[in-house]
Structures are given as structure tokens and as C-alpha cells.
Amino acid sequence: MKAVILAGGFGTRLSESTHLIPKPMVEIGGKPIIWHIMKSYSFHGINEFIVCCGYKGYVIKEWFANYYLHNSDVTFDLANNSMKVHNTEAEDWKVTLIDTGLHAMTGARIRKVKEYIGNEPFCLTYGDGVSDVNIEEVIRFHRQHRKILTVTSYKPQGKFGALDIDEEGNVCNFQEKPQGDSSWINAGYFVCEPEVFDYIGEGDDVIFERAPLENIAKDGKMSAYKHDGFWKPMDILRDNIELNELWDKGVAPWKKW
């Protein structure tokens, strides 16, 4: 099974970094977040990837084209214009990088890589978040439920402390960052059947999370795998700092490899 990674957005909320590189190339522990996502899939036996590039996609292409140089020691002999790579590190991956357009929305990007996926089920996720979700379990769940799409769902914590206040203004209970509003949200890590493409219309303005997913759910063809472990998107600078702190302390929950 292949994994499709959406990696073409502008990442405007992380503009401190994304004015130079695309969001999936922003680093955690010295490696791009897309590498962490791919390592998670690889840990669960998926080693073929299709990356939907867009904004500054050439940066992603350059990094994979020079994977040895980015991840190994190297000696350059300028006298004879030669190069020797030491302690080479490589992954058992096949990575296809597709330019899906600068302004294409998520649905359009997925449609544009259809020919590279083939007529087979595939995994799909976003290139800006990490999780300890058991991808093999999600795939088993998908096969058992026989729907055309399975989404991994998650209940996030609230962003602010919650106050229980009585009519006289007395605080009866205080809870720092409670469990959100009890709603399950889309955490990515989809498993899709080829029939999903039937729901994605033409044009670059098709947003996968709007009409395609809404209609799949309306037709009763979507299931949700409930994940109660770790999941965190990297939306803003603070998220990047927090993820790097977890990595640097050696307690990154998504690192299973």
C-alpha cells in the first residue's frame, strides 16, 4: 500500500519558517517533519510514498535528491573534483514527488496524483503533523468496516483553562486545558479506496475536507478510527517549539522506530 502526503500548502501561520521553505520541511530534531511522518509509516510497513508538492516544492525535491548528503558525512576533494560519502544512511523508501500546483486545494492535489496511486487502496495524510497512531490497526479497521474511506479521529485538549462559575461569580471548579468540547476531529491518517476519486470534482478549488468528505459521509461510506494517543499538528511556531522540546528530551511519543 502507498501513502500519499499532502505537502503543497503555503503554511502561512508558520511564516517565521515557511517564507524560506515549505511547511513539511520545517525541522524537528534536525529532520523535516515530513521525514518523521514517513518514518512512522515505514515503521508500520509502508515504504512507498507519493508527495503532493506545491509551494516551494523544489526544496522537498532537492532534499530527497541529496538524501545521502543531508544525512551522512562527506569528503570533497577539490583538487580532483571528487566526493566520498561516509557512513551512508538510507531508507528503504520509494518516494514520488509530484508538482500538484501552487494554488491547488487538497482535493485537487489528491486527484492529480491518481495515476501514481493506481486502482488500489491507499493511505493519505497531511505533511504537517505527527502521531503515535497505529497505522496497521487503522488499515485493519478500514478493511473490517468495508467503507470507501476511514478517517482517524481525535479529541483534542482545549486551548484554554475552563472555569465553572456560579451566578454570584464564584469559581466552583478550575481545569487547565480540559478535553476540548468532546468533539471528535479529523486527524488525517486516512485509508482510502479508489472509489474516493469519484467524489473529487474537477478544478483546483476542490477542498477534500468539504464536498468530497461531506458527501462520502452523507452516503454512509465513511468510518472513523478513534485514536486516543498522541496527535499534534504543527500549525504555529509554538507547536514547532513544543515538538522539538519533546524530541530533545527523548520523550517524543511518535518516535516508535
Q: In this predicted structure, what is the pLDDT of residue 174?
A: 67
Average pLDDT, the chain: 93
Per-residue model confidence (pLDDT) at position 76: 93
The residue-averaged pLDDT of 8-14 equals 92
Q: Which band of pLDDT confidence, cut at 50, 70 and 90, is reported for residue 175?
A: low
End-to-end alpha carbon distance in the chain: 19
Which domains are seen in the chain, by residue range?
2-248 (3.90.550.10)
Return d(Cα 187, Cα 126) in angstroms, integer.
9
Evaluate if residue 226 carries a pLDDT over 90. yes
- Segment 188-225, tens digit of pLDDT: 999 999 999 999 999 999 999 999 999 999 999 999 99
Per residue in 42-99, pLDDT (tens digit) is 999 999 999 999 999 999 999 999 998 888 888 999 999 998 888 777 799 999 999 9
Does the pLDDT at position 22 exceed 60? yes
Residue 180 clears pLDDT 60, i.e. is over it: no
CA 250 vs CA 53, 166, 242, 253, 255: distances in Å: 31, 43, 13, 9, 9
